[in-house]
Amino acid sequence: MSDHDSQLTRIDPEWLMTREHQFLKCRPETGITQERWDEYRRLFARNDITQGIERDPETGDAFIIVNSVGLLNRGHSNGYLYCGPGPKHRYPPCLSSQPSGEHPYKRGDEAFSFRKLADRWYAYSEGPS
């Protein structure tokens, strides 16, 4: 469903984002209807996805954020990562041939860990904390 709404870079239960703007309510500029956003919200609630989906429209990578703790650059997010067809990718696991891995936090860099679940799918965690 989110492939069809690729103009959105973030679909959250509480807000939507395009490359240019963030919206706190559904508007025509988002490219989806209120009914469609409500369907996302139902899917998120049913599957305990608290933070929605973050998409990279250029690569097709999508991070389904199940849980997030903290704020901005001090936060930590966990969920499921889908790697688009490539060849470019936003998320490091999509570039790795390893079944699992981690990168510890270093100042000016972001920490992450991952475990491959299936073709193009990973359990994924990112953030410095």
* 3-55 pLDDT tens trace: 889 899 999 999 999 999 999 999 999 999 999 999 999 999 999 999 999 99
Helix ranges, 23-113 (H): 34-46
Q: What residue segments make up the domains of the chain, in order of their start?
A: 1-52, 56-129
Residue carrying the six token digits 């972001």: 110
Q: With b meaning 16 or more CB within 10 Å and e meaning fewer, what string describes 91-120? A: bbbbeeeeeeeeeeeeeeeeebbbebeeeb
Query: Would you tell me how many other CB atoms lie within 10 Å of the CB of residue 16?
Result: 25
On whether the CB atoms of residues 99 and 108 are closer than 8 A, the answer is no
pLDDT digits 0-9 by tens, 55-73: 998 899 999 999 988 765 6
